[in-house]
Amino acid sequence: MKKRILIIRQDRIGDAVLATAIPREIKKCWPDSHVAVLVRSYTKPLFTHNPHVDAVISDDHTPDTRQQTFWPMVRELRRHRFTHALMLLPEARINYMTFCAGIPFRVGHGIILFHALTLTRPVMTRKFRKGRHEGDYSMDLARSIGVKTNDVSPEIHLTHEENERAMTQAAHWGGGKKMIGLHATSGQSAPNWHPAAWAELAQLLQKHDSVQVVVTDNSIPGELKNLPGVLYPNEGVELREALVNIRALDSLVSASTGPMHMAAALKVPTLSLFCPLPSCEPALWGPLGNEGQFVLPEEEYCRDKCPGDPHVCRLVGSTLASPAEVARRILS
């Protein structure tokens, strides 16, 4: 029987990027399988033109529309006649939706009451085991249905025209200069500098004739606006256009956030701010498939200066994770 597999990843950009490895590995195992992904509309461009994905389904429910969108989504899933559902994010609505759609083989992370009530197969992933990456935890669901792989490197597929446009963009921007992207925002998903520190880094780099600074944020913090010589190509643009602009870079500097993973999937080198805590460390959340380097504070920083919450940490007072040190590393 031909496998018809649904991959569900309805959360942030970085998580969705890490899931892009799964369709490829499924197709390696079962070339004639039908592979679909269920995502939010804003992450749909990450799977566009992916030759391993046969269908992309969007589900943009909000807390106010959870109930009224439930049965329409069930009917949509039934129409595809899926044989397997891989639920990468444990969530009750998704679980009951795939159950009511009659998908016979459903797998999810961990032993949870709603999994047990619907006879969903639990996958025990031993979360935060030292040295394992989040991409590996996601791939565990595919492994549970028979996929055998250790390749969890993500991939985003640009068209020939988009790649040509990225190369033209790079030549137009810098005329031979190194294109250094700075992505200053992170939605408080990871330790990150204040915008003023990113502005300091931009100004330090822009002093050098060999460098062109490109701020890649969609919404520019006030401290970074209108800096002399700095480019802002992603302000207000759609995600697919942002991918083209990131592809044009020689490297991207950011916190541990979605654009870092997008750059990695496009094989753009990255330099990323990280926290050494086990739940945030590079071994768990670092970029995959590209040349990635990390900016970490001193060993004693977390003990002496860290506020205790990585989501609000701004790395203030760290020498190793300062704009001056990051600029030195880039220029050297």
Residue 27: what are its φ and ψ, rounded to 5°? -65, -30
Mean pLDDT of 296-316: 83
Q: How does residue 322 score in pLDDT terms, banded at 50, 70 and 90?
A: very high
CATH level 3 topology of 4-143: Rossmann fold (3.40.50)
Q: Which backbone phi and psi does 53 adopt, to 5 degrees?
A: -110, 120
286 pLDDT more than 60 = yes
The neighbouring-strand residues paired with 254 are 183, 272
Q: Six-digit token pair at 88? A: 């990468």
Strand partners for 35:
5
**pLDDT value of residue 235:** 96
pLDDT tens profile 36-61: 999 999 999 999 999 999 999 999 98
Strand partners, 213: 180
pLDDT of residue 312: 83
Please, what is the Cα angle at 111 between 106 and 112, to 5 degrees?
Answer: 85
Strands 121-123 and 211-215: unpaired
Average pLDDT, the chain: 94
- pLDDT for 242 equals 98
Q: Tens of pLDDT along 91-123?
A: 999 999 999 999 999 999 988 999 999 999 999
pLDDT of residue 4: 98
SS (H, E, C) the chain: CCCEEEEECCCCHHHHHHCCHHHHHHHHHCCCCEEEEEECHHHHHHCCCCCCCCEEEECCCCCCCHHHHHHHHHHHHHHHCCCEEEECCCCHHHHHHHHHCCCCEEEEECCCHHHHHCCCEEECCCCCCCCCCHHHHHHHHHHCCCCCCCCCCCCCCCCHHHHHHHHHHHHHHHCCCEEEEEECCCCCCCCCCCHHHHHHHHHHHHCCCCEEEEECCCCCCHHHCCCCCCECCCCCCCHHHHHHHHHCCCEEEEECCHHHHHHHHCCCCEEEECCCCCCCCHHHHCCCCCCEEEECCCCCHHHHCCCCCCCCCCCCCCCCCCHHHHHHHHHC
For 234-257, write each residue's pLDDT tens digit.
Answer: 999 999 999 999 999 999 999 999
Q: Which of 253, 244, 243 is CA-nearest to residue 274?
A: 253
Q: Which residue shows structure tokens 């190194």? A: 178
pLDDT value, residue 128: 55
The whole-number pLDDT of residue 129 equals 65
d(CA 39, CA 242): 19
Nearest to 294 by CA among 261, 254, 259: 254
CATH 3.40.50.2000 in the chain, residues?
4-143, 160-331
Task: Summarize pLDDT for 187-244 with one digit per residue, the tens.
Answer: 877 889 999 999 999 999 999 999 999 999 999 999 999 999 999 999 999 999 999 9
Q: How confident is the model at residue 263 (pLDDT cuts 50, 70, 90)?
A: very high
- What's the average model confidence in pLDDT over 76-104? 97
How many beta carbons lie within 10 A of that of residue 321, not counting itself?
A: 24
Instruction: Please state the rounded mean pLDDT for residues 79-95.
Output: 96
Cα(253)–Cα(65) distance, integer angstroms: 37
160-331: CATH superfamily: Glycogen Phosphorylase B; (3.40.50.2000)
